[in-house]
A and B are shown apart, each in its own frame.
Chain A
Amino acid sequence: MEIKEYILIIRKRLPLIVATTLISTFIAAILSFYILPPIYKATVTLFAGRSTNSNGSNDNIQALYSDVLLGQQLVKDYREIAVSRTVLERVIKELNLKMTTEELSNMVSVQLKNDTRILMINIESKDPKFAATVANKLAEVFIEAVQRIMKIENVQIVDKAVVPDKPEKPKKLLNTAVAFILGLMVGVGIAFFIEYLDNTIKTPDDLEKYLQLPVLAVIPDLDEGGKN
């Protein structure tokens, strides 16, 4: 097959391709704009490092460096502690939430910034205020838990969670765009599949290939050619 034939197939099945593209885009748009509830994300940024009162002398550089390394190692532990059952249970208890730890843990995600000592705790919820409250409470409980468990007092809050004003999910335009491309691909796929299943004679080449009979004439379709 040549590129030209591909183009002809696509042109022939254009209504089908346009239809699948439009339908999938439409469904995605309806889902993300009207059906899916908006989810808000509140984030607390934490820093895992001793608050050094460094005077900038060379003696302290060594200590500072090991502190950096230690901090980078420890954030991984912190990540696990942040979503531990003890911490979650404590948050639920302190905020009087009516949910299980599992439900809460589904809302929580912890993000580490690579090669830094920065740790981000995200709370996703339908209610933006609630997300911020839980995020801040979780950070608080988490710092206490670190002190209690690891006996290290080196986690500080960098940014407290604020009430998010824009929903994080659904990503309406992204979803719609993805659905558009997906619909387009599916449409083209179906078009080629139909063409593949179509075992009718279409060109003089087909006749000579499958019948070994000479082609005496190729007559254009009356409806198209007669307009000349």
Chain B
Amino acid sequence: MNAVKEVIALYNPRSPITESYRMLRTNIQYSSLDKPIKTIVITSTGPSEGKTITCANLAVVMAQAGSKVLVIDADLRRPAIHKVFGVSNKVGLTNLLVENKKFEEIVQKDGVEGLDLITSGPIPPNPAELLGSKKFENFLNTISQSYDYIIIDTPPCGSLTDAAIIGRIVDGVILVAAAGEVQIEAIQQAKENLQKVNANIIGVVLNKVKRQTSSYYYYYYYYYYYTDESGETVKKKKVGRRRKKDDRYTLPSDGRR
């Protein structure tokens, strides 16, 4: 396991940040009543808002909860999943789409039980075209039979169409927004781009929230619960400041209920 330290869910399961990712996992589970969310696209308005790290951490906490998870790096322009998990990117998604390689040939096992990876593979000249192909859609449909969740990392949707193209054929899209970085108008535009293709936007992950600038927004989750090794939810003595607004968020749990 050579994952970078940002995959905090692996290295620090008790960290409040890991707890936030567990909350994300729980909220995804409960975001749709009719149709379970299995295939998820993760995108953001601009570059480096934390898409790939969110993908990785979400996948890890899902796998830790006993789900079978596949992470696909569909960012064929600036792939990063292989860097985050510290695996090779010699073969990947493009090999499957262009060279007709079999899924078994390109899937990579990760150190985490239940977590599989498909990296991007060689960077193609026409990523949008590849991702919009019937072949990719069929591949997703077939592969989703064997996994509980498929998490797809994509390029930013503010300026590129890739995320919207995939967003069309998956169950849900999650927008990652870096606090204090993404401009209101830009993210509104990103939302419109996704809605134009009828993508189902499940919701937004507010990333990189600094304690200094908006402390009380996550204080509560920060100290209220943490999950111990046995997966039991333990109440901590230290209770953070609680505001009325916090009530609407689902409390983090271990996700197995």
Residues of A within 8 A of B (CB): 4, 8, 11-12, 198-207, 210-211, 213-222, 224-226, 228
In Å, the complex CA distance between A221 and B217 comes to 13
User: Given A205-B245, A219-B50, does the pair A214, B31 have CB atoms closer than 8 Å?
Assistant: yes
**In the complex, are the beta carbons of B201 and A213 less than 8 A apart?**
yes
- Range for the number of chain B residues in contact with chain A: 35 or more
A4 to B222, CA, bound (A): 19
Can you list the 6 inter-chain pairs with the closest CB atoms, starting with the nearest? A217-B24, A214-B203, A216-B203, A216-B27, A219-B20, A221-B208
Residue of A nearest to B8 (CB): A226
Task: Assess whether B208 is in contact with A214, with CB atoms less than 8 Å apart.
Answer: no
> Is B101 part of the binding interface, using a Cβ–Cβ cutoff of 8 Å?
no
Select one of A12, A199, A203, A228 contacting B179, CB under 8 A.
Answer: A203
Looking at the complex, which of B131-139, B155-163, B181-189 is the stretch in contact with chain A? B181-189
- Chain B residues near A222 (CB-CB < 8 A): 6, 8, 17, 53, 208
Chain B positions within 8 Å of A, measured between CB atoms, are 6, 8, 12, 15-17, 20-21, 23-24, 27-28, 31, 50, 53-54, 174-175, 177, 179-185, 187-188, 191, 201-218, 221-222, 245, 249
Residues of chain A within 8 A (CB-CB) of B174 are 216
Q: Is A217's CB under 8 angstroms from B213's CB?
A: no
Whether B15 lies near A215 (C-beta < 8 A) is no
Q: B23 near A217 (CB under 8 angstroms)?
A: yes
On whether A201 and B17 interact (CB within 8 A), knowing A217-B24, A221-B209, the answer reads no
Whole-angstrom distance between the alpha carbons of A220 and B50 in the complex? 12
B204 near A199 (CB under 8 angstroms)? no
| 17 CB-based A-B contacts, threshold 8 Å | A12-B212, A199-B185, A202-B180, A213-B204, A214-B202, A214-B203, A216-B31, A217-B20, A217-B21, A217-B205, A219-B54, A219-B209, A220-B211, A221-B209, A221-B211, A222-B208, A225-B15
Q: Are the C-beta atoms of B8 and A207 separated by less than 8 Å?
A: no
Given A199-B183, A200-B180, A211-B188, CB of A216 within 8 Å of CB of B213: no
> What is the CA–CA distance of A12 and B179 in the complex, to the nearest angstrom?
14
- Report how far A145 CA is from B174 CA in the complex, Å: 92
Q: Are B217 and A203 in contact (CB under 8 A)?
A: yes
| Contact status of A207 and B211, CB under 8 A, knowing A201-B187, A220-B17 | no
**Which of these, B6, B8, B212, B217, contacts A218 with CB under 8 Å?**
B217
B203–A213 CB distance below 8 A? yes
Q: Which residues of A contact B17 (CB under 8 A)?
A: 219-220, 222, 225-226
Which residue of A200, A205, A214 contacts B184 across the interface (Cβ within 8 Å)? Answer: A200
Query: How far, in Å, is A218 (CB) from chain B's closest CB?
Result: 5
CA distance A219 to B21 in the complex (A): 7
Q: What residue in chain A is nearest B252 (Cβ atoms)?
A: A217
When the two chains form their complex, are residues A216 and B180 in contact, meaning their CB atoms are under 8 A apart? no
Question: Within 8 Å CB of B21, what residues of A?
Answer: 217, 219
Chain B residue nearest to A222 (CB atoms) is B6
Contact of A217 among B184, B206, B212 (CB under 8 A): B206
Report the separation of the CA atoms of residues A225 and B223 in the bound assembly, to the nearest whole angstrom.
Answer: 12
CA distance A4 to B243 in the complex (A): 13
Residues of chain A with a CB closer than 8 A to B212's CB = 8, 11-12, 224
A210-B184 in contact (CB<8A): yes
Cβ–Cβ contact B177 & A201, under 8 A: yes
Q: A210-B187, A213-B204 are in contact. List 7 more A-B contacts (CB 8 A).
A: A202-B214, A207-B204, A213-B191, A214-B204, A215-B205, A216-B23, A222-B53
| B209 surroundings in chain A (CB, below 8 A) | 218-221
Task: Quote the shortest CB–CB distance from A198 to chain B (angstroms).
Answer: 8
Given contacts A213-B191, A218-B20, A226-B8, contact A207 B177 (CB under 8 A): yes
Chain A residues near B207 (CB-CB < 8 A): 219
Instruction: Tell which of B16, B204, B208 touches A215, judged by Cβ atoms closer than 8 Å.
Output: B204
Contact A216 B202 (CB under 8 A): yes
CB neighbours (8 Å) of A203 from chain B are 179, 206, 214, 217
Chain A residues contacting B12 (CB-CB under 8 Å) are: 226, 228
In the complex, chain B residues whose CB is within 8 Å of the CB of A205: 245
Residues in B with CB closer than 8 Å to A204 are: 206, 217, 245
> Within the complex, what minimum Cβ distance (angstroms) separates B173 from chain A?
10
> Which B residue sits closest to A195, measured CB to CB?
B213
